[in-house]
Each structure stands twice: as C-alpha cells, then as structure tokens.
Amino acid sequence: MELSTLATYHCLAFVWYFFVAYSITHVKTEERPSEVFLYGGQWKYLTVLNLVLQAVFYGVSFLADVLRLIKKLRCAKCVISSRDLLFSVLAFPVSTFVCISFWTLYTYNRELVYPKSLDGVIPFWLNHAMHTAVLPFALLEILALPHRYPAKKKGLILLGFVAFLYISWVLWIYSVTGEWVYPLFALFSPPGLAAFFAGSLAIIISFYNFGEFLNRMIWGQSKFS
C-alpha cells in the first residue's frame, strides 16, 4: 500500500474509533438498566477499553506515517516500534478476542454478556461497531503492512501483564459492589472462575500467536516497514 494511502487509512480508522468511543460514552442516560453503567461506568467493560486501545493504536500509526512522509525517519523509527508493539501484543489479540468471545457467548445466551435491556440504550449500529467491526479492522491492518513482533517471551509477558491488570480491575469492582461486570461470572465458583480466566488467557494467547503467524505468512521474516 502506498504510504499516502496508508496514512489516509490510518487517519480514517483513528477518527472512526474515536467517534465510536465517544458515542459509547454519550449513550442516552435515561432509563439505563440498573445492572450496567454503575461503579466503573463504561470503563469496566473490555469492549470499551478495546475501543480506546484501537484509537490509540491508529493514532500512533497515523503519526508514524506522517513522520515517514515528511522524512523524519529517526523519529519515525521510534514511533514505528511503538506501533508494532501495540498491534502485536494488544490491538490484534484483544480485538479478535472481543469479537469472537462476545458473539460466541451472545449466541449461546446473550443475557450472560449483553442483556436485552441494553437494546434500548445502545443502538444496533454501535453494538456492531464495538463487537463486530473490530475484527475486520485488525485483519485489514495485517494485510496493509508488515509489523515487527517482539521476542515471544517479551510479547507474552506484556500480554499476560495487561490481562492481569484487567482481571484485577474486574475483581476490584466485585469487591466494592458485590456485582460482577458480566453476569456470566456469577455462574462460577471461585475455582471455576479462576479456570475461566486461565482459559480466556490461553485463548487470547492463541490469538496473539495467530496474528504472528498471519504476519509471517503474508510478509515473511524480512520485510518490515
């Protein structure tokens, strides 16, 4: 993809994610269901945090493109390193996890992750912007340009650390409110919940490996922007 075209794409993707993140923080407040948007607000949901993550990633990507266009290559090199780390460790695996896990659980029993009461709060298009479009965007990014992945140990440690922070946030909210972020968690005993979190981590790690595999298959080992 031409650099100017790539810059345009990253700019539009940044604007899109900024708009979606803004939209979810400004959903109508009247008649909100009692089980959502209390302690922690929207920021307790992985879906919303992922929107912010994607906006940051595409903002960094656009900055890297602009620096390359104006020939600030020394600055661009540092920004590109940050872009690739963000994409490989977080942006791709989290987006894939959000999309696949959400729609799998939604199909099984939507009340476990997205109660029907939310239909009157969150528009249909916004639901798909948060839970569906994130995966095509992630796949398109892999097709658009190569990304340098970190050493496997470093990448998995960073991913595991971020997962630990989110799980800690979920547990903290439960300790304060006595309510789980997602109704699904109430179905598990403490050992079962620990197993569920461990299984979720294993799945997101598999998505990390899948992203690395796709990147290598499409671009090979040597071609990096």
- Note whether residue 162 is domain-resident: yes
pLDDT band at 121 (very low <50, low <70, confident <90, very high): confident
Q: Mention every residue, 6+ apart, whose C-beta is less than 8 A from residue 7.
A: 62, 65, 66, 69
Identify the DSSP state of 43: G
pLDDT at position 132: 96
Identify the DSSP state of 33: -
Reading the block at residue 137, the tokens are: 């965007």
- Note whether residue 30 is domain-resident: no
The Cβ of residue 63 has, within 10 Å, a number of other Cβ atoms equal to 20
The letter for the amino acid at 117 is S
The letter for the amino acid at 172 is W
The letter for the amino acid at 96 is T
Task: Kindly report each contact of residues 114-119 with a partner whose C-beta sits within 8 Å and lies 24 or more positions away, as own/partner.
Answer: 115/33, 115/35, 115/36, 115/183, 117/33, 117/35, 117/36, 118/33, 118/36
Q: Do the Cβ atoms of 207 and 93 come closer than 8 Å? A: yes
Residue 49 structural domain: 3-25+40-219
Residues across the chain: 225
The whole-number average pLDDT for the span 12-29 is 88
- Note whether residue 32 is domain-resident: no
- Note whether residue 225 is domain-resident: no
pLDDT band at 186 (very low <50, low <70, confident <90, very high): very high
Mean model confidence pLDDT for the chain: 90
pLDDT band at 225 (very low <50, low <70, confident <90, very high): very low
Express as a percent the part of the chain with pLDDT over 70.
92
- Note whether residue 112 is domain-resident: yes
- Note whether residue 35 is domain-resident: no
The whole-number average pLDDT for the span 73-102 is 94
Q: What is the pLDDT of residues 126-185, one digit of tens each?
A: 999 999 999 999 999 999 999 999 999 999 999 999 999 999 999 999 999 888 999 899
Q: State in Å, rounded, how far the first CA of the chain is from the last one.
A: 11
Is the pLDDT reported for residue 125 higher than 50?
yes
**How many domains does the chain divide into?**
1
